[in-house]
């Protein structure tokens, strides 16, 4: 049972149909003037229009990029470069994705500034007043704040952060990679990056929306598609848009159903000895639950649960393949070891959750037995 759907959910059935259709109709270069090229261009334009409608943006403000990481990096670096006369500082939350933290460090260093990190509380939420104070200081090129954290599910005070940034004349880049398609993203952003694979679209494509009032320099200005040098896959972009429309259409019903399941998970997991459930219990994404187990190695627990037939995440959601201690949990000041992240897909059922809860206590106990820490 796959319970590691954060950042890579199964392809939505309608997205699969759309992708196959676009392989037949949108295979050509959309920049060419012949019939096949114009047909591909219509599919790509339709995909941008569909995504823009969900975001409440203009079609011309939406771009497809090669990946979510490239959307984040290019949006941040391009805006910092365009605003270098305003200063070189980049303000970020402590629980942003590694791609944002690294890009902020590079962009600020390139323009004589600094990456300014705003700390978070034990739920992983930045202090809105501290964020406002930082963006109001002289020399800030831009700020970045996620809508919600994909590792622990906590929503950020996005409206307050955006209002403060607007008041200071600083653009706000919002990472909606963990939330778009799952949750309502407020109209409180100047740049927004999103991750189609997270909502059931295909991998290999990202979304970057830039408000027309924001000046941002694309990475390859001489390319026919400056925000995606060499172009993007038309079938992938078209399938991503179809999946987003589909997940948005029944989002309220899915929200209610998955919140019931995550509430059940949070309650039952907390009853396992020496286990801490992290993230805000209420103001959070509907499908993410994260917990940490004392006296347990995260890699060993993931392996033990995999043997029992359950795929879960561990480590940091944005660098999970390294199985390094999570910088998100460290910033929150909570237990970083023995970390497990469960992200429910639309196909996850109540029976799936109950089966997972039935095997979890024994899996934790077996790992502790192997490590010789039982009874401590």
Q: Please give the radius of gyration of the chain, using alpha carbons only, rounded to the nearest integer.
A: 21
Count CB-CB contacts under 10 A for residue 36.
14
Q: Give the three-state DSSP class for 126.
A: strand
**Adjacency order of strands within the sheet including 339-343:** 275-278, 288-293, 339-343
User: What residue ranges do the domains of the chain occupy?
Assistant: 13-249, 251-371
pLDDT of the chain along its 376 residues, tens only? 888 888 888 999 999 999 999 999 988 888 888 888 898 999 999 999 999 999 999 999 999 999 999 999 999 999 999 999 999 999 999 999 999 999 999 999 999 999 999 999 999 999 999 999 999 999 999 999 999 999 999 999 999 999 999 999 999 999 999 999 999 999 999 999 999 999 999 999 999 999 999 999 988 777 778 888 888 999 999 999 999 999 999 998 999 999 999 999 999 999 999 999 999 999 999 999 999 998 888 888 999 999 999 999 886 444 444 456 789 999 999 988 889 999 999 889 999 999 999 999 999 999 988 877 665 5
Count CB-CB contacts under 10 A for residue 35.
9
Sign of CA dihedral 165, 166, 172, 175: positive
pTM for this structure? 0.93
Tokens 């992290």 locate to 278
Task: Tell me which DSSP letter residue 34 carries.
Answer: S
Which of 66, 193, 97, 88 has its CA nearest to residue 142? 88
Judge whether 262 and 256 are in contact, CB under 8 Å.
no
Architecture of domain 251-371: Alpha-Beta Complex (3.90)
CATH of domain 13-249: 3.40.640.10
Output the six-digit token pair for 4: 């590691």
- Bridge partner residues of 16 (DSSP): none
SS3 content of the chain, % helix, strand, coil (to 5): 45, 15, 40
């Amino acid at each position: 049972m796959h319970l590691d759907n954060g950042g890579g959910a199964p392809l939505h059935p309608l997205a699969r149909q759309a992708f196959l259709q676009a392989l037949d109709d949108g295979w050509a270069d959309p920049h060419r003037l012949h019939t096949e090229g114009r047909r591909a261009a219509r599919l790509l334009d339709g995909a941008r229009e569909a995504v823009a409608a969900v975001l409440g943006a203009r079609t011309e403000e939406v771009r497809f990029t090669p990946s979510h990481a490239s959307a984040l990096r290019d949006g941040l670096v391009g805006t910092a470069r365009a605003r270098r006369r305003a200063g070189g500082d980049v303000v970020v939350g402590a629980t942003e994705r590694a791609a944002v933290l690294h890009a902020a460090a590079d962009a600020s260093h390139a323009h004589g500034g600094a990456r300014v990190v705003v700390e978070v509380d034990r739920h992983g939420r930045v202090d809105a007043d501290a964020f406002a104070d930082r963006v109001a200081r002289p020399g800030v090129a831009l700020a970045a704040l996620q809508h919600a954290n994909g590792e622990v599910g906590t929503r950020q005070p996005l409206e307050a952060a955006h209002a403060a940034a607007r008041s200071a004349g600083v653009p706000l880049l919002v990472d909606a990679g963990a939330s778009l398609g799952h949750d309502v993203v407020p109209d409180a952003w100047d740049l927004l990056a999103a991750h189609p694979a997270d909502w059931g679209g295909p991998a290999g494509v990202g979304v970057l929306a830039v408000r027309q009032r924001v000046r941002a320099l694309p990475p390859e200005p001489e390319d026919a598609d400056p925000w995606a040098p060499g172009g993007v896959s038309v079938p992938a972009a078209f399938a991503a848009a179809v999946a987003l429309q589909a997940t948005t259409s029944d989002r309220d019903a899915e929200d209610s159903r998955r919140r019931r399941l995550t509430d059940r998970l949070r309650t039952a997991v907390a009853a396992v000895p020496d286990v801490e459930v992290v993230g805000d219990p209420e103001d959070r994404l509907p499908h993410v639950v994260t917990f940490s187990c004392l006296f347990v190695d995260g890699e060993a627990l993931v392996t033990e649960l995999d043997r029992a037939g359950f795929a879960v995440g561990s480590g940091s959601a944005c660098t999970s393949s390294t199985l390094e201690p999570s910088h998100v949990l460290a910033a929150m000041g909570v237990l970083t070891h023995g970390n497990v992240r469960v992200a429910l897909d639309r196909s996850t059922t109540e029976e799936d959750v109950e089966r997972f809860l039935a095997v979890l206590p024994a899996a934790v106990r077996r790992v502790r037995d192997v490590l010789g820490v039982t009874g401590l």
